[in-house]
Amino acid sequence: MDDQEYILKLRHDLHQHNYNYYVLNNPTISDQEFDILLRQLADLETLHPELYDPNSPTQRVGSDLSQEFETFIHVRPMLSLGNTYNKEEVADFYERVREGLAGEDFEICCELKFDGLSIALHYEDGKLVRAVTRGDGVQGDDVTANVRTIRTIPLQLPADADWPASFEIRGEILMPWSSFEMLNHEREAREEPLFANPRNAASGTLKSKQTSVVAERRLDAYLYYLLGDQLPADGHYENLQAARRWGFKVSEAMRKVRTLDQIYDFIAYWDNERRRLPVATDGIVLKVNSLRQQRALGMTAKSPRWAIAYKFQAEQQSTILREVTFQVGRTGAVTPVANMDPVQLSGTMVRRATLHNADFMAQLDLHIGDHVLVEKGGEIIPKIVSVDEAFITPDRGPRVEFIRHCPECGAELVRYEGEAAWYCPNESGCPPQIKGRIEHFVSRRAMNIDTLGPETIDDFYARGLIHDYADLYTLTVDQLSGFGDTRIRSARKTIQAIADSRKVPFERVLFALGIRFVGETVAKTLARRFRSVDALAHATLDELMQVNTIGAAIAESVVRWFRDADNAWLIERLRAQGLQLQLSEEMLAAQSDRLAGKTIVISGVFVHHSRDEYKALIEQHGGKNTGSISAKTSFILAGDNMGPAKLDKAKKLGVSIVTEEEFLKMVE
């Protein structure tokens, strides 16, 4: 068997193993065996770039390169469903269908309403060619590269299945509860805003500009509607059973019914059982099963007459507030937390709920001993909705007040203009802030010292081995190991990981410093503009604010951080340890200002470089990438098959079109 034949065989086998594992939950080989096969395929594809296939199993890991999203006009509009919240309105829908079909017998397909992001998947000759979000229903974003990383979505359908040559299948992109909880736990540790629910998390993830981020967050997908000119059957239910045979993940909860009582039974059953599901649901969808009857019933301007969504009521429980405690995070932000009597809510035991900030807490007018209403609904994060006024008595407990001093170090709290949170200003002497900054410094997207977790950092801090992140570079194996071969091996691994972090590029070091408001993207922007930590340290407020995307809050935070004498000493100690505090010579040599001040849109398919490579070139030469055309657009870098909508808009706004060859001459 030659390399080409073996590549095709590996792709076929890995697609099948992927389906067995993620859709059927019935793997036939071990994870290690799968990884070995995947590695073999990746090595062979490297040797044979001419055999590249965007739907290869190796493409599911995603890329760290950034991307923008093209808009795509839906072949068939993606209309929203009408909502109902009670059985009477369900009965009204049922009667409207019966009257609309003039008494003809009909079946209703009952399905779960998954709470995620709607997606339309297009297949040609058994291959995924495009994935488009709902958008405004008429057009959406082309997120094909990101969707290819979702392992429950088939990239290549089995050759022996009876799928049509061309079809569209719609469904919902979801983040499972387990992935959601893990993601929010990580964001909380980094003091980033938490996602309110899995739907928002899935939406934010699918719109990520890095496919590698989408891949690592383990999104899921359920498909619920098949469209095309040559479908297997007239029945919606029957078409989805066919789609299941082709390899699509279709919910087992679907049922065909004929009577209103059967619909009510389905709703009652899943109103309780949905809490056991691994993904979020927020209701039931009822669809007339026959496609012929669907066409006969038709559409309103906004929604189909043959379908309706029944929404579950958000679950609330009453419990007693016992105490409010206050937590201090890495940035010094102080967050109030309600501690309550345990209460069962949406399948989990709830004891604590965030109160967000002082203003939120004041609006609730909480008193110790109050009966409070707690809600999760479609959200995993418990929240206190209100005080249960039915239980308020004249001898009500003391009112909960926001503290004025840090609960960890005693410093007087401050509140910055325009912000809701109160902060502990004692950055260098408040233990949670110190340990939180070290945890941020070693995190994967910063210095990537993956042998140091929160517990290890807490131990090192308690033993007096580290007082800030610069101390990490003075640790020794003897300090960490104590006694025993296992601990010595672990200590050596940690010291080696710390040593390796000296090679981390400047933009990530800048992110690792933990300057308030300086995330990954801002750190890259500042690194490319100022090129060294010394230049950034001497930048004025005006100079910072002249940089694209840098506003007053970020600029003031950067200036304030570098003015602090303790931070200046930190930089000098990191410099002495050999960290990268300026852009590499290769990066500096490749940079220019040829595109300075220009805002550029990329559209189409290119010959000489990929879209991601062109985006990097634009940034390298001082330009700014954007995904949409406006009067501020300098020009469009256009390849073959430029989107017609963008072409029309460019003509209307008088935006010039630059070819691939013309652009390469610009940047030489």
Catalytic residues: 113
Strand 422-423 relative to strand 599-603, pairing? unpaired
DSSP string, 250-295: --TT-EEE-SHHHHHHHHHHHHHHGGGSSS-EEEEEEEESBHHHHH
Residues 6+ apart with CB under 8 A from 660: 606, 607, 608, 609, 637, 638, 639
Can you read off the two tokens belonging to residue 367? 């008193």
Can you read off the two tokens belonging to residue 170? 């719609």
- Judge contact between 172 and 221, C-beta under 8 A: yes
Burial of 201 (0-12, 13-18, 19+ CB in 10 A): buried
**Helices (H), ranges, 60-208:** 87-100, 144-147, 177-189, 198-206
CA distances from 358 to 223, 271, 331, 335 (A): 43, 35, 17, 8
H/E element, 19: helix 3-22
**In this structure, which amino acid lies at residue 39?**
R
Residues 6+ apart with CB under 8 A from 665: none
Enumerate long-range contacts of 101-107, CB under 8 Å, 24 or more apart.
101/293, 101/296, 101/297, 104/293, 105/258, 106/258, 106/288, 106/289, 106/290, 106/293, 107/235, 107/237, 107/256, 107/257, 107/258, 107/288, 107/289, 107/290
Q: How far apart are CA 463 and CA 419, in angstroms?
A: 36
Q: How far apart are CA 333 and CA 413, in angstroms?
A: 9
Q: How far apart are CA 444 and CA 225, in angstroms?
A: 39
Enumerate long-range contacts of 584-588, CB under 8 Å, 24 or more apart.
584/505, 584/506, 587/505, 588/531
CA distances from 557 to 26, 551, 554 (A): 52, 10, 5
**Cα-based torsion angle of the residue sequence 379, 382, 386, 391 in order, rounded to the nearest 10 degrees:** 130
Enumerate long-range contacts of 497-503, CB under 8 Å, 24 or more apart.
497/449, 497/450, 497/451, 497/452, 498/449, 498/472, 498/473, 501/442, 501/447, 501/448, 501/449, 501/579, 502/473, 502/577, 502/578, 502/579, 502/580, 503/580
- Judge contact between 154 and 15, C-beta under 8 A: yes
CA 319 to chain centre: 33
Q: How far apart are CA 65 and CA 509, in angstroms?
A: 19
CA 108 to chain centre: 35
Q: Is the dihedral of CA 175, 179, 185, 188 positive or negative?
A: negative
- Judge contact between 53 and 30, C-beta under 8 A: no
DSSP string, 543-596: HHHTSTT--HHHHHHHHHHHH-HHHHHHHHHHHHTT---B--HHHHHH--STTT
**Cα-based torsion angle of the residue sequence 507, 511, 517, 520 in order, rounded to the nearest 10 degrees:** 60
Q: How far apart are CA 233 and CA 164, in angstroms?
A: 12
